């Protein structure tokens, strides 16, 4: 039987604990979902306005950093009528358990969502054993 | 910025928006009180800009598929409606859930008359952009001053 990790102790501990909107000049912390399967940990972050070319994903010293740069359009002679969101770059960092950081990492940017998959190294993967 | 002519943006809506900023996201979109959010869904954030030739509306819809977005015009009202469906993950264990899924709808009263036939909508990188060219009647017209 697979050992279940207590949901109270996330494997990806967060460095920042809540999303913060810092507005212009700072970064927005994107909203994320983080979930775990037998093979990998998946971090999905909402970054609307970011193209694949604007993404940077780094794992370094047990820290996973997600960065998304928004492609800005130049606007001239424009009057802003409503402004419910101010375009800005996204950044958020998570600290990882050592064993997760060692596996391979892949990232995909599609429709404004950055999905990062961290494969658990062999020894950390859950192997389901068939009971005969 | 409050726009007095907008039927969609009453002071109550603004208060609700600010409250949902404080509470909504941390409560995974359910809100702190039952029925806090309208049953019909959430309001995606919208920006609206104006140039001499057109109105332009932008809306953040990350993770939504193009086929799940419906943009329509009814008279002077622009409606953006659709659904953000949760991705298929199967049996997984969540450590954090901040993103919100489900139906959404916004209606926006347009401040000027637009040329409905010329309205164009583009969706890319989770951002919906709608350009509404102004009707000729709404465009500024220079009136030549003749010397009499």
ipTM: 0.73
Smallest Cα distance from A8 to chain B, Å: 8
Query: What pLDDT does residue B41 have?
Result: 47
Smallest Cα distance from A132 to chain B, Å: 23
Evaluate whether A90 touches A45 at the Cβ level (below 8 Å). Answer: yes
CATH architecture of B11-85+100-138: Sandwich (2.60)
Q: In the structure, what pLDDT confidence band is assigned to residue B111 with cuts at 50, 70 and 90?
A: very high
Q: Which residues contact B65 (CB under 8 A, 6 or more apart)?
A: A111, B85
Q: Name the residue among A49, A4, A30 with its Cα closest to residue A116.
A: A30
Strand ranges, E, within A15-128: 32-36, 40-46, 50-60, 63-70, 79-83, 90-96, 105-110, 113-119
Per-domain residue ranges of chain A? 27-70+83-124
Chain centroid offset of residue A110 CA: 13
Record: contact B65-A49, CB cut-off 8 A: no
Q: Which of A4-18, A67-81, A89-103 has the highest mean pLDDT?
A: A67-81
Q: Which one of A5, A32, A36 has the shortest CB-CB distance to B98?
A: A32
Per-domain residue ranges of chain B? 11-85+100-138
* A73 has a pLDDT exceeding 80: no
Q: Which one of A34, A71, A80 has the shortest CB-CB distance to B96?
A: A34
Q: How many other CB atoms sit within 10 Å of the CB of residue B133?
A: 19
Q: pLDDT tens-digit profile of B52-102?
A: 899 999 999 999 999 999 999 998 999 999 999 988 888 889 989 999 898
- % residues pLDDT > 70 (chain B): 72
What is the CATH code for A27-70+83-124?
Answer: 2.60.40.790
Q: Three-state DSSP class for A22?
A: coil
Give chain B's largest Cα–Cα span.
82
pTM of the model: 0.71
Which chain A residues have a beta carbon less than 8 Å from that of B91? 37
Q: What is the mean pLDDT of chain A?
A: 78
Smallest Cα distance from B91 to chain A, Å: 7
* A109 has a pLDDT exceeding 90: yes
């Amino acid at each position: 039987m697979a050992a279940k990790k207590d949901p109270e102790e996330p494997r990806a501990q967060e460095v920042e604990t809540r999303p913060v909107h810092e507005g212009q000049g700072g970064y927005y912390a994107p909203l994320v979902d983080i979930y775990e399967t037998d093979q990998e940990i998946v971090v999905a972050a909402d970054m609307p306005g970011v193209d694949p070319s604007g993404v940077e994903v780094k794992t370094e010293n047990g820290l996973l950093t997600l960065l998304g740069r928004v492609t800005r359009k130049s606007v001239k002679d424009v009057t802003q009528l409503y402004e419910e969101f101010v375009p800005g770059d996204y950044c958020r960092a998570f600290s990882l358990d050592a064993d997760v950081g060692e596996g391979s990492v892949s990232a995909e940017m599609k429709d404004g969502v950055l999905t990062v998959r961290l494969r658990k190294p062999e020894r950390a993967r859950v192997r389901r054993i068939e009971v005969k | 910025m409050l726009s007095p002519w907008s039927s969609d943006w009453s002071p109550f809506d603004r208060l609700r928006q600010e409250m949902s900023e404080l509470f909504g996201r941390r409560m995974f979109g359910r809100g702190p009180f039952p029925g806090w959010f309208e049953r019909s869904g959430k309001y995606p954030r919208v920006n609206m800009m104006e140039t001499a030739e057109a109105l332009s509306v932008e809306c953040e819809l990350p993770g939504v598929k193009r086929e799940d977005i419906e943009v329509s015009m009814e008279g002077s009202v622009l409606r953006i409606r659709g659904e953000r469906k949760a991705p298929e993950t199967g049996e997984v264990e969540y450590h954090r859930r901040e993103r919100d899924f489900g139906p959404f709808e916004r209606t926006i009263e347009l401040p000027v008359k637009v040329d409905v036939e010329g309205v164009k909508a583009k969706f890319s990188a989770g951002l919906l952009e709608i350009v509404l060219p102004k009707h000729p009647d709404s465009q500024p017209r220079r009136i030549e001053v003749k010397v009499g």
